[in-house]
Structure 1
Amino acid sequence: MNVREIMIEGVETIGEDETLETALKKSTEEGEGGSLIVERNGEVVGIVTTWDVLEEIGDRRDLRDIRVRDTMETHLVTVHTDTPVEQAAKEMVDHGIWRLPVEEAGQIVGIVSATDILTNEIRNIM
């Protein structure tokens, strides 16, 4: 099975100059939740996740004062839509991440999460 079959299609984006408060609202109101692809002038420059936001809340920082660029991950690990699910899981483990942007034809077309992979595996067992 390939990532294409279990990924969440489409991605939500946010500008790097937006606040984490805006990111949190956007990810919970508009998207599947969990992550936003960060853009600068239409180019993908990173990813910000709910984990990033939780870390700032845990540090008792005001989300209105923090820019996405200050907490986003700039080293994007991605997989292709044709990547086997097992390889995607290995990439997550190797890089200590929970979500992978999925690419096709040089564009990010979706996100696959550890939850997506685990849910798929549970369905296969049952």
Structure 2
Amino acid sequence: MIQAKDIMTQDVKVVNTDDSVGGVIRCFLEEGITSAVVVDNDNKVKGIVTDGDILAAVRQRRPVVVDVMSYFWAVGDDEDFVAKTDAVKQKKVKEIMTKHVVTVTEDTSIPEIARLMVENGIKQIPVVQSGRIVGLIRRKDIVKAVAEAAGEL
């Protein structure tokens, strides 16, 4: 049976909880990635930060709504985009990361990993050993394993 250790990526991009979101954005752009595992100083998984988390943080700042004689107007939503992104870039990773992270161990089966991804609506799962990051499995890794098992590759 194929297990996590057989298909995981061992070269995992990690960031620290106290890193700036601006630094993470630069890293994503330079390395062409969309997520990083968040670890503490002991390399223990504390969360995950994705491009979706960054977009959600930018979106969190809602426009001011003004009621003028029963007409409602949204003020400053689009015009304020630069200010929103500048504010988010100053935040620490721990302020926007996804804290509840589904993890697996190296001996977790591929069908179980696929089930966890579907049930939790996630695209990647960190592989841990004693709470420390040892790898990462993305959806494309599972698709590739399925194709290889079917003799497609």
TM-score of the superposition, structure 1-length normalised? 0.82
Q: Deviations over 1:59-107 (max 9, x none)?
A: 7431423321121111121001111111001011111111100012442
C-alpha separation in 1, matches of 2:33 and 2:143: 17
Equivalent position of 2:17 in the other structure:
16
Change (3 A) 1:57 1:120: farther
C-alpha separation in 2, matches of 1:20 and 1:9: 24
Matches within 5 A, 1:85-124: 85-124=110-149
Structure 2: 5+ residue runs without aligned partners? 61-80
Equivalent position of 1:45 in the other structure:
46
TM-score of the superposition, structure 2-length normalised? 0.69
Higher Cα radius of gyration:
2
Contact persistence 1:3–1:81 (CA under 8 A) = yes
C-alpha separation in 2, matches of 1:83 and 1:105: 14
C-alpha separation in 1, matches of 2:146 and 2:13: 26
Residue 53 of structure 1 deviates from its aligned partner by 2.5
C-alpha separation in 1, matches of 2:3 and 2:16: 30
Name the stretch that deviates more: 67-76 or 8-17. 8-17
C-alpha separation in 2, matches of 1:4 and 1:79: 10
Structure 1: 5+ residue runs without aligned partners? none
Contact persistence 2:38–2:48 (CA under 8 A) = yes
C-alpha separation in 1, matches of 2:59 and 2:134: 31
Identity of aligned residues (%): 30
2:98 to 43, 52, 73: 73
C-alpha separation in 1, matches of 2:21 and 2:130: 30
Contact persistence 2:45–2:131 (CA under 8 A) = no
